[in-house]
Structure formats: structure tokens, C-alpha cells
């Protein structure tokens, strides 16, 4: 194999290795960035939801109890969160907030899919305080944070015996569902989700950009290296080879052009030229003696 082909093969091997290294690196880098961005948004959204529920429990509920006024969003952090989530959905439809149960007052709060799976996990392991996981909700990939909703004594006012529930609760929701809660039991789950970008799509887009850049770089290297190899190595070696063939056939009169360089090729050319001159001198001496 010629030197030019060896150089070209080396470049091709380097190109393939670069692509093989770049592809998984881009995938894992993209995945890490997507999850990091989603986790930051998720932490913020979870804190917002907790702040709403703390506001209801600390500021609204005591005031309305004192005034003996019952208004469900002012008593229940879950109801208040659901109301706010509805308005947030109109402004930021990509975010997901829900408080659901398998025994809700409102059919709209019925746990389904991943929500029901999370609810069952909390019931199977009561020591769990939160679960962060990725899943699909309404056909969209989400990074979700969930927490169990545990029935407390105050919850039984609306969710205990339907005969003792406030009138507006019975009027709005009926008496078929959402009752019979027991204090200290997991009755629902709070789910907050932020969208996960399509990792596969992002990876393909970034891979095309990076691999395109690598391809362009190696194409330029291929052209430049081939030109340099040809001018600096192949042409001088071809000239030396041609001269060596001529000498082997007895033609030692042709002078090798001077190579004005300071490298191994120049040393080889100069050494060959010295050998040719030595042979020429020796031949002349032999001719004079004969």
C-alpha cells in the first residue's frame, strides 16, 4: 500500500472513531441537560404548590373558621391548588399539576395511569414521602414529583360521613364518591410535572450538527494532508526513486536536484547525491587507470 493510501486510511479510521465517540457522548450529554433543566423547573413548581397549600392552611383556613364561613378553596389546600392549576394551565399549558384520588369528590380528580401507579406505591410503602420519576401523561413525557395526600382529622369534615358534610359539598358533588376517608390513611396523591423534551429528537439534531462539523473538518484535513504529503514526501521520494533506478542501470551522470529542506527527506536526497558523486569519481579514476 502506498504512503498516500496509508495516510488516507488513517484519516478515515480517525473519522469513524470520532463519529463513534461523538454519538454516545452527545446522547448522554443531551439527556443530562434535559433532565437538569426539567429538575430545576420541577423544584420551582413543587415549591409553588407547597406555598399555596401553606398559605391556605396558615392564613385562609384560620380566618374563615373564626368567621364561621365555609368556602372549600379556603379550607382545602387541594381544592385551592386545583383551582390555581386550572388557571395556570391556560397560561402555561406545558406544566402539569393535579391532586387526584381513587375516591374523589369530583370525577375530574379521578386517578388514572401513572397517577394511580404512584398512589398505589405510596399505599404499599407508607414511609415514602415523595417519588420523582419520568412518565407519560396525556401522551407527553414528563418529569414528575409526587407526594402522598394523607387524610387528617380536618379532612373528615368534607370526606367523612356524607350525612355530616357541608351542604355546598353535597350540592356540588353528591354523595356517591369522595367519602368514607379514615384519618392517617393515604387517600390521594399530589402530582406536579414539567415536560421532558424529546431526547431522541434533540440527540439526532445535535448529532447531525456535530457529525456535519466533524465531516467538514476531516474533509479539509483530507485535502490539506494529501497535498502536503504529495508535495513534501511523495514527489521528493519519487524523484529519488527515479534517480536510484537510473543509477542501477549505469546512468550516474544525472545530478539529483538540490532539496532545500532541513528534514529526513533532504538528508536522504543529499546522502544519495553524495553517493552518486562518489560513484562518478570512482568511475572516472578507473577509466584513467585503464
DSSP string, 196-213: PP-HHHHHHHHHHHHHHH
Residues near 116 by Cβ (< 8 Å), separated by ≥ 6? 102
- Is the pLDDT reported for residue 115 higher than 70? yes
* CATH topology match: 3-10+202-289 vs 32-197: no
pLDDT at 259: 63
What distance in Å separates the CA atoms of residue 157 and residue 96, rounded to the nearest whole number? 28
**8 A C-beta contact, residue 202 and residue 30:** yes
**137 DSSP assignment:** E
pTM: 0.61
Residues paired with residue 164 on neighbouring β-strands, in sequence order: none
Instruction: Select 3-10+202-289's CATH number: 1.10.8.500, 3.30.830.10, 3.30.2350.10, 1.10.630.10.
Output: 1.10.8.500
* Average pLDDT, rounded, for the chain: 82
What φ, ψ does residue 255 adopt, rounded to 5°? Answer: -85, 140
pLDDT at 201: 80
**8 A C-beta contact, residue 225 and residue 5:** no
- Is the pLDDT reported for residue 94 higher than 60? yes
Residues near 121 by Cβ (< 8 Å), separated by ≥ 6? 128, 131
Domain locations in the chain as residue ranges: 3-10+202-289, 32-197
**8 A C-beta contact, residue 131 and residue 122:** yes
The domain made up of 32-197 is a member of CATH 2.70.98: no
- Is the pLDDT reported for residue 122 higher than 90? yes
Residues paired with residue 146 on neighbouring β-strands, in sequence order: 131, 191
CA 126 to chain centre: 33
Supply the angle between the helices 77-91 and 3-55 in degrees, to the nearest 10: 130
pLDDT at 290: 65
pLDDT at 244: 78
**What percent of the chain has pLDDT above 70?**
94
The predicted-structure confidence for 186-202, as pLDDT tens digits, reads as follows 988 888 888 887 777 88
**8 A C-beta contact, residue 131 and residue 189:** no
The predicted-structure confidence for 205-227, as pLDDT tens digits, reads as follows 888 888 899 899 988 988 888 88
Amino acid at each position: 500500500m502506498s504512503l498516500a493510501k496509508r495516510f488516507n486510511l488513517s484519516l478515515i479510521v480517525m473519522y469513524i472513531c470520532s463519529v463513534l465517540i461523538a454519538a454516545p457522548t452527545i446522547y448522554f450529554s443531551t439527556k443530562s441537560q434535559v433532565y437538569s433543566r426539567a429538575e430545576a423547573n420541577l423544584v420551582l413548581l413543587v415549591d409553588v404548590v407547597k406555598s399555596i397549600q401553606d398559605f391556605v392552611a396558615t392564613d385562609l383556613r384560620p380566618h374563615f373558621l373564626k368567621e364561621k364561613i365555609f368556602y372549600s378553596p379556603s379550607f382545602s389546600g387541594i381544592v385551592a391548588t386545583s383551582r390555581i392549576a386550572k388557571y395556570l394551565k391556560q397560561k402555561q399549558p406545558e406544566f402539569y399539576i393535579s391532586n387526584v384520588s381513587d375516591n374523589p369528590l369530583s370525577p375530574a380528580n379521578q386517578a388514572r395511569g401513572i397517577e394511580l401507579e404512584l398512589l398505589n406505591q405510596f399505599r404499599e410503602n407508607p414511609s415514602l414521602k415523595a417519588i420523582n420519576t419520568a412518565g407519560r401523561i396525556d401522551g407527553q413525557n414528563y418529569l414528575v414529583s409526587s407526594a402522598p395526600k394523607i387524610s387528617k382529622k380536618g379532612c373528615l369534615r368534607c370526606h367523612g360521613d356524607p350525612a355530616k358534610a357541608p351542604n355546598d359539598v353535597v350540592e356540588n358533588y353528591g354523595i356517591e364518591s369522595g367519602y368514607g376517608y379514615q384519618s392517617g390513611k393515604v387517600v390521594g396523591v399530589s402530582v406536579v410535572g414539567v415536560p421532558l423534551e424529546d431526547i431522541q429528537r434533540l440527540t439526532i439534531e445535535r448529532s447531525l450538527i456535530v457529525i456535519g462539523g466533524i465531516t467538514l473538518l476531516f474533509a479539509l484535513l483530507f485535502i490539506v494532508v494529501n497535498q502536503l504529503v504529495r508535495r513534501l514526501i511523495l514527489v521528493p521520494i519519487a524523484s529519488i526513486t527515479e534517480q536510484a533506478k537510473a543509477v542501477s542501470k549505469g546512468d550516474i551522470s544525472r545530478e539529483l536536484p538540490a532539496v532545500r529542506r532541513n528534514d529526513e527527506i533532504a538528508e536522504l536526497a543529499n546522502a544519495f547525491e553524495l553517493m552518486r558523486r562518489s560513484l562518478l569519481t570512482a568511475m572516472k579514476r578507473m577509466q584513467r587507470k585503464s
